[in-house]
Amino acid sequence: DTEVTQTPKHLVMGMTNKKSLKCEQHMGHRAMYWYKQKAKKPPELMFVYSYEKLSINESVPSRFSPECPNSSLLNLHLHALQPEDSALYLCASSSLAKNVYGYTFGSGTRLTVV
Amino acid sequence: AQKVTQAQTEISVVEKEDVTLDCVYETRDTTYYLFWYKQPPSGELVFLIRRNSFDEQNEISGRYSWNFQKSTSSFNFTITASQVVDSAVYFCALSGLDSGGSNYKLTFGKGTLLTVNP
pLDDT tens for B95-104 read 887 766 667 7
In residues, how long is chain A? Answer: 114
How does DSSP assign chain B, residue by residue?
--EEE---SEEEEETT--EEE--EEE-S-SS-EEEEEEE-TT-PPEEEEEEETT----EEETTEEEEEEGGGTEEEEEESS--GGG-EEEEEEEEEE-TTSSSEEEEE---EEEEEE-
pLDDT tens for A43-90 read 999 999 989 999 989 999 999 999 999 999 999 999 999 999 999 999
Helix (H, G, I), strand (E, B) or coil at B20: strand
Beta carbons within 8 Å of A36's beta carbon, 6+ residues apart = A43, A44, A46, A87, A88, A89, A90
Q: Say what the pLDDT of residue A87 is.
A: 97
Mean pLDDT value across residues B28-38: 89
Contact B35 A102 (CB under 8 A): yes
Closest among B40, B116, B25 to B76, alpha carbons compared? B25
pLDDT tens for A10-24 read 999 999 999 999 999
Contact B35 A45 (CB under 8 A): no
Whether chain B has a CB inside 8 Å of the CB on A27: the answer is no
Question: Is the pLDDT reported for residue A100 higher than 60?
Answer: no
Q: Residues A79, A21: contact at Cβ < 8 Å?
A: no
Q: Say what the pLDDT of residue B51 is.
A: 87
- Mutation pick from A44, A103, A112 vs chain B, by most beta carbons of B within 10 Å, is A103
Whole-number Å distance between alpha carbons of A39 and A61 = 20
Helix (H, G, I), strand (E, B) or coil at A10: strand
> Cis ω on the peptide bond leading into residue A8 (within 30° of 0)?
yes
Mean pLDDT value across residues A84-108: 83
Q: Say what the pLDDT of residue A101 is.
A: 59
At A83, phi and psi to the nearest 5? -55, -30
Q: Which of residues 81-100 of A touch B (CB under 8 A)?
A: 88, 90, 92, 94, 97-100
Contacts of B115 in chain A (CB under 8 A): none
